[in-house]
Structure 1
Amino acid sequence: MIETAVSGNITGEIDIVARDGDVLVVCEVKTRRAGVFEHPMAAVSPEKAQRLRGLAEHWIHAHGGAPPGGVRIDVVGVLLPQRGAPVVEHARGVA
């Protein structure tokens, strides 16, 4: 699910909005080719994390308020090697 949001000075899109029990999860997905760029998880800077928090807040207000379990911001990193299967990492609650 891709959701575009505009809130004050914050613009952008949320890659995934999901639930984990009673927790709303806003997830950023980063994909990189192995050896070409920095690791995908490193692409989420403090500024990007702040933007994700603002987008999550906007999404919550636009969709009826915060769930009872609160909100968590996750990052999924996908590393694409030249050979073999992609490597997927999931970091919970990073922002």
Structure 2
Amino acid sequence: MFDISFWELFLIGIVALVILGPERLPGAIKSTVSTIRSVKNMASGFKSEVEEQLRVHELHENLKKAEELGLDNVSPEVAKSVEELKQAALSVQEPYKKNKDDKQHD
């Protein structure tokens, strides 16, 4: 990622020691490490979110293909995507059906 040699890193450490002093240098290192970790975590979260959105987009495209083909002669991959979408739609509708049934009984 970064092309930093040992001597460059050593020079940065010496400059940081002179500027910050021995009292504040450990705190600065801890702060820098925690910042780098939080940036990495944020980047991995963003990456997983993008991957999930791409998967949803692919499922949506497969559903469009299935609708165009009339849901009869579709590939197994498209049929699987359609089935996943049907299951997701049913799971979303279940709470509303329960609430609707409860209101009808009242």
Task: Determine if the TM-score, normalized by the shorter chain, exceeds 0.5.
Answer: no
Instruction: Tell me: higher relative CO, structure 1 or 2? Use CA pairs within 8 A at least 6 residues apart.
Output: 1
Query: Which is richer in helix?
Result: 2
Question: Which structure has the larger Rg over C-alpha atoms?
Answer: 2
TM-score of the two chains, using structure 1 as the length reference: 0.29
TM-score of the two chains, using structure 2 as the length reference: 0.27
